[in-house]
Amino acid sequence: MTTIVTGAGGHVGATLVRALLEQRRAVEVIDLDPGIALDGLDVKVHRGDIRDAAFLRGVFAPGSTVFHLASVISTSGDKGGLVPSVNIEGARTVATVAREVGVKRLIHTSSIHAYDIDTHGAPITEETRLAIGHSRSPYNVSKAQGQLAVFEQVDKGLNGVVVNPCGVIGPYDYKASRMGKFFRAIARGPMGPVGPSGFNWVDVRDVVDGMLKAEEKGRAGQAYILAGHWRSNLEMGRIAAEIRGVPAPTKVMPLWSLKLMGALGPLLSAIGKRPPVTQEALDALLANPDMRHDKATRELGYQPRPVEDTVRAIYAWLDAEKVLEREKAAYKAKR
C-alpha cells in the first residue's frame, strides 16, 4: 500500500522519504513547497494544505500509512495565528481524516518542545507534564495541543502513535535549519562567539529510524521521545571544526547580553526591527538538558549514534551536494 508523508520537503521529511524509497515503498508526499529536497526522487507530489479535509480525503486511502510531519516552527510568536492553525488544527484534521478514511497507521511527529522543558530538576520523559500552561512559547504549546488532538482520534479508533524528536541535525538539510547554518558557518570560518549553553542533538537518520520503528512496534496512543546527546554550542563548534580541519570557535557570548537582547525584543519588534534573539529562543537555549529516550529504546529498540558520526555525515553530504560552493556562487551573484 501507499505511504504518505506530509511536510516531506523539510529536513526530517527529506530523510524519511529516502529511507522509505530504500524499502521499495510506493511514496506520495504532501507539501505546499517541497523545494529541491525531493528533486529526482520517485515520489508523487500533492501540493495542498493539511488543514483542508477535502484535499486530504483525495490523498489518503484505506490501508495506507501516513507520516505526519508538516508544521510551522517558530521562536518568534504565533506568526499571526499560523503556528496554532497548522500545528493544532492541521494535526487534528490529518488525524480525523486518517481515522475516517481508515488508514493503517498514523505516525505523528511532535517535538520535545511539547513537554515542559523549561522546568529543571527531573529528567524529561514521556511522563513530564506538557507545555500547556507552563511555557510562554506559542510553538511549544501548539505542539502539545497538536499531540493531544491526535490522541483524541486514537480514543475514537485511530491507530496512531506520536514521536517527539529533540534538536535535529544531520544530512539532507536542504532548507538550512538554524543548526544547518551553524555547520555551514564553521566550514567557511573563522567563526565568532557562539551562543552559551546547548541542547540535546539527535541525528536526523536516527529520528527516521525511530519513526519507522514506531510504525512497526509503537503502541497506539503512546508517545516516544527520540533524544540524542546533549552538547554545548561550543562543543559542537569544536567537534565540527576538528572534523572539517578549520579553526575552532573559542569564545562564548555572555548570557547576560542575550538576556538583554531578549528583553528588548518586544520593543524592537514594535518599531519594525527584527530582534537578534527572542525570549522563546533564549528559553530553548536554557532548557532542561536531561532528555531521556529510555522508553523508545526499551519498546522500539531505538539507539542514537554518537554526535561525531553525525557531524561527519553533515560535511560529507555538504561536499557531495556541493552545497557550500553553490551558496558561495549565489552570494557572489547578488553582490
Q: Which of 92, 90, 58, 45 is nearest to 71 (CA)?
A: 90
* 323 inside domain: no
Whether 147 is covered by a domain: the verdict is yes
Report the pLDDT value the prediction gives residue 270, as an integer from 0 to 100.
72
Whether 97 is in a domain gets the answer yes
Backbone angles phi, psi at 101, to 5 degrees: -75, -30
- The parent domain of residue 39 ranges over 2-172+200-229+289-306
Residues shown for the chain: 335
Rounded CA-CA distance 335/332 in Å is 5
Which range is least confidently modeled, 252-261, 284-293, 304-313, 319-328? 252-261
Lowest mean pLDDT of 9-18, 40-49, 177-186, 252-261, name the range. Answer: 252-261
CB 88 within 8 A of CB 126: no
Number of domains present in the structure of the chain:
1
Phi, psi of 248 (to 5 degrees): -90, 150
Task: Give pTM, 2 decimals.
Answer: 0.94
- Closest to 15 in 3D by CA, of 223, 177, 207: 207
With respect to residue 330, please indicate whether it lies within any of the assigned structural domains.
Answer: no
Is residue 267 a part of any domain in this protein?
Answer: no
Q: How large is the average pLDDT for residues 176-199?
A: 91
Express each pLDDT in 101-115 by its tens digit.
999 999 999 999 999
Q: Per-residue pLDDT for 242 more than 90?
A: yes
Mean pLDDT for all residues in the chain: 94
Within a domain: 163: yes
Is residue 271 one of the residues assigned to a domain?
no
Note whether residue 261 is domain-resident.
Answer: no
The per-residue pLDDT for range 129-146, each reduced to its tens digit, is: 999 999 999 999 999 999
Q: State the cell numbers at 42.
A: 520517485
Q: What is the CATH number of the domain that holds 68?
A: 3.40.50.720
What stretches of the chain adopt beta strand conformation (E)? 2-6, 26-30, 44-46, 65-68, 105-109, 160-165, 167-169, 198-203, 223-226, 229-232
